[in-house]
Structure 1
Amino acid sequence: MNVDASNPRSVPRNPVPGPHNCQVDTGSPALPCLLDRPGALLTSSGRAAILLGLESLALSPDQRVLVPSYHCPTMVSPVLTLGHRLGFYPIAADGRPSLDWLEQHAPADTRVLCVAHFFGLPLDLRDLRAWCQRRGVLMLEDCAHAMFGQGEGGAVGALGDVVIASLPKFFAAQNGGLLLVKQPARPVAPLEPVGLKGQLKATLDDLEISACYGQLGLRRVWAAPLLALKRMLRGGGRATPTSAAPQPARFDPAGDYARIDVKLCHRAPTRAATRAALLTSRGRVIARRQQHYRAMATALANRPGMRPLFPALAEHSAPYVFPLWVDDPDPAYQALRALGVPVSRWDWLWPGVPDLAGDQGKIWSHHVLQLHCHQDMSDQDRNWVIDALLTYRRS
């Protein structure tokens, strides 16, 4: 199969809403899920969960939050929005925080250590937990990439004082996050419900996405006139899937991507997002992601100019993305996005991330592409993504 650059393929970047999400596969694997944890609070987004979690700790302004050098800006902006001091720490080749660096260089005012399970691959955080306890530091366990899973240190989210997650990364939800706080110094206030207009918009948006990818099912009987009315009010034609827009060359910390709407952070998720998270058949989510990851790892091994960052997928994990190291990533990234390949990259680090000895974070931000491998990609979609990568390397 060859990839035609003049005819991008419509591969969904995220899980697609529709009744297929509720189909039960009794032969699929089961893994611990954060949704089952007692006290789990659903929020409007993952970044909202971080902000609410930090608020619940009642930190003073002179206390510092350390985040990994490899990060999404949405991990950083809640810290600065609340007026806390910010610091960065290096990560090792396995994605774990550098314990040696923390032992020797962690600032004395550090109060919170944010640790992330990158790509949905569970980390063993027991030694980090022990370090936090010795230093009187609280652990914020960022499970935005790891709604499911269990590693040698236990289930994801088991060791954090604060645990956060993101619904859209694993379910057909357009918004939503999850927050767990073990011993809040300040209780999280009740979240403001979404109004009728917002609920209706979320439902119509879901239906529109379902229609774009042929997943309306029997709902098309009553959804079609609603979508026609929405198109008429919008003044446009039928919505069609589009490829990702080109990224600006530079990251703007004051831009929309990093900006925090504090009022929105204190709002509940929509009912559509909540239903998507709670009613989805989890076995299908886990099984399909594992299948895609392993197929990509096999197909992209021993290829010139690229390599799987973590070729072996742990049995008890449900990956968010497939991390691929690319030697010359800049032209590849833009070319793949233009083709419609569902790929992301964390090249937008927050300004001021230092160069730290032995750090893999800044290296990953340049060289590692995150290939989406969610459950609503078909085998044909996945094979097309693989072929797009191989065709690009041959060109």
Structure 2
Amino acid sequence: MSNLPENMVQLGSRRNIMREIREYGLIRAREVGAENVLDFSLGNPSVPPPPQVNDTIRAILDSPQGDSIHAYTTAQGDLAVRESLAASLTRRFGMHYGPDDLYITVGAAAGLCCCFRALACPGDEFVLMAPYFTEYDIFVRGNGGIPVVVPPDYDTFQPDMKALEAAIGPKTKALVVNSPNNPSGAIYSAETLTAMADLLRRKAAEYGHPIYLISDEPYREIVFQGFTVPWIPNFYDDTLVCYSYSKSISLPGERIGYVLVGEKVAEHKAVYAAICGAGRVLGYVNAPSLFQRVAAACDGLTSDLSIYQTNRDLLYNGLTSMGYTCVEPGGTFYLLLKSPVPDANEFCKRAQAYDLLFPPTDDFACPGWCRIAFCTTTEQVQKALPIFKKLAEEYGL
């Protein structure tokens, strides 16, 4: 018998389902040719970073200080970087932020883990709004919290407020939201956020302690025509924002982001200190120094995101015309499709027989649906539609 934590062995043995499908697709590509494998599994941006990113990298490396750019920064992030980001956020969102409101992280995942570790006392609960990114449950449990899952309103994929109210209790420490949402693409409306904020304030007063809102926002800038993304701190003071540059400027492999703790957050200084302490415990200190500077210089820019609008329109209009039930994405580069049979795993396996690859969303706490990641070429979307049509006919849609 192994003298190791069983949960860690299990987590390392069972990989993220999207990555498993992605690896299967790479094997199939060697067998039948990459052009014949239509892989919609992984949320890897398909557009290059804006030109300013590489220009900034070259300028930094060619500067007189270029040789020292790879040195350690202050643990919570270089002061000049935090000053620059705070000024950018103040300008963009109309609320005052300072450098000591920001903790620079190794992507949004590290930011979320820092928040959970910083806030969780024994027995504390973190409310997760389904559908949610597969790793939330793992992040919460691994950092001392207890996840409490709230199902969505399946007609709108906005939060079910009655179910949310029932989930909040005296041990609730925080609510986690992700808008635009992975995997649904849904954006929480101003009406939804107003109702949510009112509920959290009422419950915080009832239980006599702050209930924080952790807003995971890596898709904040990927928004489609007719939709807007409200700035959640405008609705609720006790909001911690976790952000990543992975999607907006196509830098997923560089692992750079931040946690924002605005001055209006309850126990602001203590919460910020706890996040710094969590980063220290978890080893998330000194985020990559080069890309701290790149993020500061490029904050507010985006890659050319127009291909995602094109692909979204092709997929959503095409699939719904075939008889599929889909959630209209307001943002992100994902589309949620309802399986034509109760077990979405069966449907995904059937599609896989045609080398059309996408995951079921059981691990997103949304059984019976599938996630289509359309961060790919438009040609690939066009090639996939006839296969979806064939599947629709097979299942009698």
TM-score range, shorter chain: 0.5 to 0.7
Judged with a 3 Å threshold, the aligned counterparts in structure 2 of structure 1 residues 162 and 347 are, in CA distance, closer, same or farther, namely same
Alignment match of 2:202 (pick from 123, 126, 134): 134
Tell me if the contact between 1:191 and 1:267 (Cα under 8 Å) persists in the aligned partners.
no
- The question of 1:324 aligning with 2:324 is answered no
TM-score normalized by structure 2?
Answer: 0.60
Q: Give, in angstroms, the shift of residue 384 of structure 1.
A: 1.6
Distance 1:115 1:18 in 2: 28
Output the amino acid matched with 1:298.
N
Instruction: Pick one of 74, 82, 102 that aligns with 2:164.
Output: 102
Q: CA deviation at 1:372?
A: 1.4
Q: Measure, in 1, the Cα distance between the counterparts of 2:277 and 2:124.
A: 26
Equivalent residue in structure 1 for 2:320, among 290, 294, 301: 301
**1:24-173 to 2 correspondences below 5 Å:** 38=97, 39=101, 41-56=103-118, 58-93=119-154, 94-117=156-179, 118=181, 119-124=184-189, 125-136=193-204, 137-149=211-223, 154-155=230-231, 158-159=234-235, 161-170=239-248, 171-173=250-252
- Paired residues in the alignment total 293
- On the 8 A contact 1:191/1:266 being kept in 2, the answer is no
Bigger RCO of structures 1 and 2 (CA < 8 A, at least 6 apart): 1
Alignment of 1:1-395 (within 5 A): 7=33, 8-9=36-37, 13=42, 14-16=44-46, 18=48, 38=97, 39=101, 41-56=103-118, 58-93=119-154, 94-117=156-179, 118=181, 119-124=184-189, 125-136=193-204, 137-149=211-223, 154-155=230-231, 158-159=234-235, 161-170=239-248, 171-174=250-253, 175-182=255-262, 183=265, 184=268, 185-187=270-272, 188-189=275-276, 263-266=282-285, 268-269=287-288, 271=290, 275=294, 279=298, 282=301, 284-304=303-323, 306-310=324-328, 314=330, 318-328=331-341, 329-337=344-352, 341=356, 343-348=358-363, 362=365, 365-374=366-375, 377-394=376-393
Q: Which stretch of the first structure deviates more once superposed, 168-177 or 286-295?
A: 168-177
How far has the Cα of 1:129 moved from its partner?
Answer: 0.9
Q: Show structure 1 runs of 5+ residues with no match.
A: 24-32, 193-260, 350-361
Identity %: 13
Indicate if the aligned counterparts of 1:53 and 1:181 stay in contact, CA closer than 8 A.
no
Q: Which has the higher helix share?
A: 2
Cα offset for 1:128? 0.2
Instruction: Report the residue type matching 1:142 in the other structure.
Output: D
- Tell me how far 1:131 sits from its aligned partner: 0.8
> How large is the Cα RMSD of the aligned pairs?
4.0
TM superposition shift of 1:132:
0.8
| 1-structure distance, mates of 2:296, 2:338 | 31
Give the match for residue 224 of structure 1. none
Quick one: distance in 2 between partners of 1:381 and 1:155?
34
Q: CA deviation at 1:382?
A: 1.8
Q: Is the 8 A contact 2:327 2:336 kept in 1?
A: yes
Secondary structure at 1:66 match in 2: strand
Given that 1:55 and 1:186 are in contact with CA atoms closer than 8 Å, whether structure 2 keeps it comes out as: no
Distance across 2 between alignment mates of 1:366 and 1:344: 11
Report if aligned partners of 2:358, 2:372 keep a CA contact under 8 Å in 1: yes
User: Residue 303 of structure 1: CA displacement?
Assistant: 1.8
